Amino acid sequence: MDNPEAGQTKKATPEKLKVVERGVMIFFHAEDDLEQAGALVAKLAGVMDDARDAGMLGKLQASHMKARIHSIAGGVATELAKLHALHTECTAVAKEHGVDQVPDGKGGVIPLGGGPR
């Protein structure tokens, strides 16, 4: 809802475009980094198997460590889901203000404006 007294309008402005451009790039990198972090953490389970097979860990100890690794990877996935939800909410705000954008894959953004995609 527009609130001109508080300086809030749905009109697109260069300032809003800059704000959204920063957000787009941060969301893009944060989501990608969290996804990669989760995948890397999950790979540690294989390391524990190798450590068990090499005689460095007992079967039960390796199992406990793998359970903790899976829990950590699940925690990363949970936080990634929260970030995706926040991203969706922010995208709706950008659309309402006619300044929605997406990464262009080259370090920039492509303006989409408002409305449904």
Q: Which residues contact 49 (CB under 8 A, 6 or more apart)?
A: 62, 66
**pLDDT beyond 80 at 4:** no
Classify residue 24 as exposed, middle or buried by CB count within 10 Å of its CB (0-12, 13-18, 19+). buried
* Per-residue pLDDT tens over the stretch 8-58: 678 889 999 999 999 999 999 999 999 999 999 999 999 999 999 999 999
User: Has residue 115 got a pLDDT over 70?
Assistant: no
Q: Give the integer Cα–Cα distance in Å for 90 and 87.
A: 5
Query: Which tokens is 40 given?
Result: 């890397």
59 vs 4, higher pLDDT: 59
H or E segment and range at residue 109: strand 109-113
**Cα angle: 13, vertex 16, 22; to 5 degrees:** 145
Q: What percent of the chain stands above pLDDT 70?
A: 89
CA 88, CA 102: separation in Å to the nearest integer?
Answer: 12
User: Would you list the domain boundaries of the chain?
Assistant: 13-100
Share of the chain above pLDDT 90, in %: 74
* Residue 2 amino acid letter: D
